[in-house]
Amino acid sequence: MNSNWHKDFFRGVALDMWRQAMTPEQTRIEVEFLLKSLNARDGSRLLDVPCGVGRHSIDLAQRGCVATGVDVSNEMIAAARSGSVGLPATWLVGDMRELPWSAEFDGAFCFGNSFGYLDAVEARAFLSAVAGALKPGARFALETGMAAESILPTLQSRGWHRVGDICMLSERRYHPREGRLDIDYTFIRGGVEDTRPSSSYVLTVNEVCRLHEAAGLEPVELLGSTNGEPYQMGSPRLILVSEKREQLHR
């Protein structure tokens, strides 16, 4: 599996399905969670990485925050720019593991499945980059559906989903030795099929916490959803809120 598969995955039908699946109400709920968990105020500088089409950051900018989004997809960044004209938002095509800032942001977040695209070494590089971009005491919110305690207990080899005029077949293969989940997605729209491979790494919650700590980010909350309930075995997603230590040790 090509480790950079995600650079070309989110385009065309895949991007269209993602846009349709994420409702305005879901975005509103997640943005309100981020404002609270990151202690954001009017004028707070927030980093969204990777940002996708900017659905969170555009809403945050509309609420008075100053948003910066980074994503490897040119198509997604173009969509974010077109949807944020006149707002305090900046967009950058770039690698989530290589962020150019030093102690510039009041908060940061990574929502969606992107953290799972990274193996343990890459994940630490990403978290170190985020920690470096944050001001001391600033918070980082990470959401992932690839925590072992979330995905493995109910993992199925196949699944169908339909969103609007798009049907999607997911075919999954888990490799225990590598801790890797390969998924082939087949999108069907208007009688046309398009199959794309993907790969994600499965880490335990303990491993995710230790990677944060090694990067200088101290976990302060482990939640099962934006409703705020504590994370437990079988929670569909993990939201880890951490805080940059005053003295960063990499």
The CATH number for 111's domain is 3.40.50.150
Provide the pLDDT for residue 34. Answer: 98
Together in a domain, 161 and 134:
no
CATH number for the domain including 183? 2.20.25
Provide the pLDDT for residue 248. Answer: 46
Domain contains 92? yes
- Report which DSSP code applies to 115: G
Domain contains 1? no
Report how far residue 179's alpha carbon sits from residue 92's, in angstroms, rounded to the nearest whole number. 31
Provide the pLDDT for residue 229. Answer: 97
- Sheet of 89-93, strand order: 89-93, 66-71, 45-48, 105-110, 134-144, 238-244, 217-223
Together in a domain, 72 and 194:
no
Contacts of 25 (CB under 8 A, 6+ apart): none
pLDDT in tens, 130-142: 999 999 999 999 9
Look at residues 96, 90, 92, 93 and name the one whose alpha carbon lies nearest to residue 128.
96
Together in a domain, 156 and 120:
no
Q: Residue 149: is it exposed, middle or buried by C-beta count within 10 angstroms (0-12/13-18/19+)?
A: middle
Provide the pLDDT for residue 250. Answer: 44
Q: Residue 195: is it exposed, middle or buried by C-beta count within 10 angstroms (0-12/13-18/19+)?
A: exposed
Together in a domain, 192 and 219:
no
Together in a domain, 120 and 53:
yes
Mean pLDDT of 229-243: 97
Provide the pLDDT for residue 18. Answer: 80
Residue 178 has pLDDT above 70, yes or no: yes
First to last CA, the chain: 30
Structural domains counted in the chain = 2
Together in a domain, 164 and 130:
no
Domain contains 161? yes
Q: Cβ distance 91 to 81 under 8 Å? A: yes
pLDDT in tens, 67-108: 999 999 898 899 999 999 999 999 999 999 999 999 999 999
Together in a domain, 123 and 59:
yes
Q: 232 is in which domain, residue-wise?
A: 6-147+203-244
Together in a domain, 34 and 78:
yes
Together in a domain, 116 and 161:
no
Provide the pLDDT for residue 249. Answer: 45
Together in a domain, 51 and 132:
yes
State percent of the chain over pLDDT 90.
85
Provide the pLDDT for residue 247. Answer: 63
Domain contains 85? yes
Q: Cβ distance 237 to 224 under 8 Å? A: yes
Residue 228 has pLDDT above 90, yes or no: yes
Domain contains 250? no
* Lowest-pLDDT choice from 12-21, 92-101, 143-152: 12-21
Mean pLDDT of 230-245: 97
Together in a domain, 92 and 54:
yes
